[in-house]
Amino acid sequence: MAVPLAFFGLFFAYPVAAIVGRGLKTGAGWQFGRIGEVVARPDIAGVLWFTTWQALASTLLTLLIALPGAYVFARFEFPGKQLLRAVVTVPFVLPTVVVGTAFLALVGRGGLLDEMWGVRLDTTVWAILLAHVFFNYAVVVRTVGGLWAQLDPRQEEAARVLGAGRFAAWRRVTLPALAPAVAAASLMVFLFTFSSFGVVVILGGPSYATLEVEVYRQTAQLLDLPTAAVLTMVQFVAIGLVLGVHAWTVRKRETALRLVDPGRTTHRPRGPGQRLLLAAVLLTVALLIVLPLGVLVERSFDAPGGYGLGFYRALQDAAAGGGTFLVPPLEAIWNSLRYALAATAIALVVGGLAAAALTLPQTSSGGTPSGGRFVRGFDALLMLPLGVSAVTVGFGFLITLDQPPLDLRTSWILVPLAQALVGVPFVVRTMLPVLRAVDGRLREAAAVLGASPLRVWREVDLPLVRRALLIAAGFAFAVSLGEFGATVFIARPDQPTLPVAVARLLGRAGELNYGQAMALSTILMLVCAVSLLVLERLRPDKTSGEF
């Protein structure tokens, strides 16, 4: 736990505490009474209520729509599966402002639905919920599907032989085994929607605001740092409670599972029922994911002089943005890839160590459990960056990492460090269910035969979790490419990332700026799709033997 604790303490707890301290501490001392004053305000109470219920609704809707997709990707083989898996993950790396803009083109004034049927959903909560499902669909598919693909189907088949129906066998055998992965995916979706920013701003308009939106408004627009600090603390406490409940309930449901090679669990769809399920999932992906992405691509080619590459050519010129950039926006592609690779490496090391620490039995020398509360607190700590305002983290970096020996303001590593904070929770939550499902007797047998702890990990755990490790690397790389909230404050003007460049272009008026933003977003989408497709090719080969 030492390395993850040091990493989170230095690059998360310290910056967040510093920014909150500046907001609540004055010359007369700490102003804790302001917390009750802010929370009691009717407008803030409304923000808290909307933040909570829309996050719950978004999580339930995402599970309802994405769980069939998780099953299809885990158990079915069909042409184009790897490409489709990459396409499904693309929305997760898009900046939320781009997601909001793509959905606005579909459901807003003059959008596709408005032109065809006269239906508008912008400034309604339905547009927000649908955009959240679009954004988080891959979280459920890849997190739950990663474990589902390794569950031994013979256990469910045995229940059916004993008289259980198909649904009863799934509910009593498979669902309990999937519970840790489902809970982990639900938690990640809830945290992302609880702190939603760009989607709510664009699709909700002035009628709706989450805590993240209100923190940004109080900080950047009203310059009311004390109120922003209070809201950050409220968000921090709320997320801490959610993570505490999650760690307490999920731990009780985790048991050792019989894991097999995914190659033994997949098959071609059999019968009309499975073919209908596959068709329904493909239709869902087409309408929910491919259609908004298609609108994004179409707008990137819709130049003033007719369809063409005009917006893409303009990306090569720094002056095309009207002074927005010190370098051509096209250079943001290399910056993003460089930062994302470094952030992925950091997240895999920190997250892998954390997941391994959470997997090891916490016992005293007498064989009795010890440190259980500390371990659950450590587990919750790893998830806090997903629920704390990225605006707060970005400002915290600027005011804390500015003095030797940690004067990193001019260092390129500052951006990967901020991105890794968001990537670590995905590494932990993806690897943890699989690590905890490994039969501990395998480790014990290796240790009895003289293997060192490192060799036990290399020869017992690693072969079992390498698929989960690749999935975790894909998630970390994806979220690093699309991270915006903290990066926008710390990225150097001459080294912008793709999301920062898109936001700068969207923030300026003019058709050329808007078209360049769509072109950069399309490039980001393609880079992500290619990267994830390569990752799928590098996953472990399918064999006939059990893990």
By the 8 A CB rule, do 32 and 103 touch?
no
Of 8-22, 260-274, 319-333, 532-546, least confident by mean pLDDT is 532-546
Does the pLDDT value for residue 66 go beyond 90? yes
Q: Residue 133: which pLDDT band, with cuts at 50, 70 and 90?
A: very high
Does the pLDDT value for residue 390 go beyond 70? yes
At residue 542, the pLDDT reads 40
At residue 23, the pLDDT reads 66
Does the pLDDT value for residue 431 go beyond 80? yes
At residue 547, the pLDDT reads 24
Does the pLDDT value for residue 276 go beyond 90? yes
By the 8 A CB rule, do 204 and 193 touch?
no
Of 38-47, 349-358, 416-425, least confident by mean pLDDT is 38-47
By the 8 A CB rule, do 148 and 74 touch?
yes
By the 8 A CB rule, do 358 and 368 touch?
no
By the 8 A CB rule, do 64 and 261 touch?
no
pLDDT in tens, 221-254: 777 777 877 887 788 778 777 777 766 666 655 5
Mean pLDDT value across residues 176-187 = 83
Q: Which residue has the higher pLDDT, 40 or 137?
A: 137
Backbone φ and ψ of 286, nearest 5° = -65, -45
By the 8 A CB rule, do 350 and 5 touch?
no
Does the pLDDT value for residue 59 go beyond 90? yes
Predicted model pTM? 0.74
Mean pLDDT value across residues 67-81 = 87
Mean pLDDT value across residues 107-121 = 76
At residue 540, the pLDDT reads 46
At residue 319, the pLDDT reads 56
The sign of the dihedral angle between the CA atoms of 376, 382, 385, 387 is negative
Q: In whole angstroms, what is the distance from residue 376 CA to residue 254 CA?
A: 14
By the 8 A CB rule, do 54 and 194 touch?
no
At residue 296, the pLDDT reads 82
Q: Residue 216: which pLDDT band, with cuts at 50, 70 and 90?
A: confident
The highest-confidence range among 100-109, 384-393, 443-452, 523-532, by mean pLDDT, is: 443-452
What angle is formed at CA 470 by the lines to CA 468 and CA 471, rounded to 5 degrees? 60
By the 8 A CB rule, do 159 and 173 touch?
yes
Does the pLDDT value for residue 363 go beyond 50? no
What HEC string does 102-130 produce? Answer: HHHHHHCCCCHHHHHHCCCCCCCHHHHHH
By the 8 A CB rule, do 415 and 449 touch?
no
Does the pLDDT value for residue 367 go beyond 50? no
At residue 281, the pLDDT reads 92
Count CB-CB contacts under 10 A for residue 68.
16
Q: In whole angstroms, what is the distance from residue 480 CA to residue 341 CA?
A: 8
Residue 367 class from Cβ within 10 Å (0-12 exposed, 13-18 middle, 19+ buried)?
Answer: exposed
Nearest to 485 by CA among 139, 126, 58, 192: 192
At residue 504, the pLDDT reads 78
Does the pLDDT value for residue 509 go beyond 60? yes
Q: Residue 376: which pLDDT band, with cuts at 50, 70 and 90?
A: low
